[in-house]
Amino acid sequence: MLDAALRLPAETVERTTTGDLVARVAGDSDQVVQAAQGALRTFLGSGCTILLTVGGLATLDWRFAVAGLLAVPVQAWTLRWYVRAARPCTRARAPPTAPARPPSSRPSARCRPCGRCGSAR
């Protein structure tokens, strides 16, 4: 976001209030945290499922566990292919930046009267 803001004309950046910029950065940070937590939860859950499956197969017969582990290279190759094939589609569907918020027409309750945000001194 900082890189995009630095590329904008100075007048555009100065028209945007500080609160709008802070709200955007905070919103972006919240989305990153939620995505990371969701990804970690999914990754750990999948890892536990795989370990329990291999453990269950080994409990039945060690050859079942070996057969299950022999499928790992095929699954890894398929995942690699899918990620490469899906990347252009994902980029095409994702918005390039966060949607622009209109500048506030009224100062917030916590805004000090300074003249920059439309309130009287």
Predicted confidence (pLDDT) per residue in 69-81, tens digit: 999 999 999 999 9
* Alpha helix positions (H), 8-118: 10-15, 18-60, 62-70, 72-93
Nearest partner of 3 among 101, 102, 97, judged by Cα? 97
For every one of its 121 residues, what pLDDT tens digit does the chain have, with 9 covering 90 and above?
566 666 777 777 677 777 776 666 666 777 788 888 888 899 999 999 999 999 999 999 999 999 989 999 999 999 999 999 888 888 777 766 655 555 554 445 444 555 455 444 4
Each residue's pLDDT tens digit, 45-61: 999 999 999 999 999 99
Return the domain boundaries, the chain: 2-91
| 12 CB-side CA count, 13 A | 8
pTM (global) more than 0.85: no
Pairwise CA distance, residues 75 & 63, whole Å? 19
Q: Name residues whose C-beta falls within 8 Å of residue 41's C-beta, 6 or more positions apart in sequence.
A: none
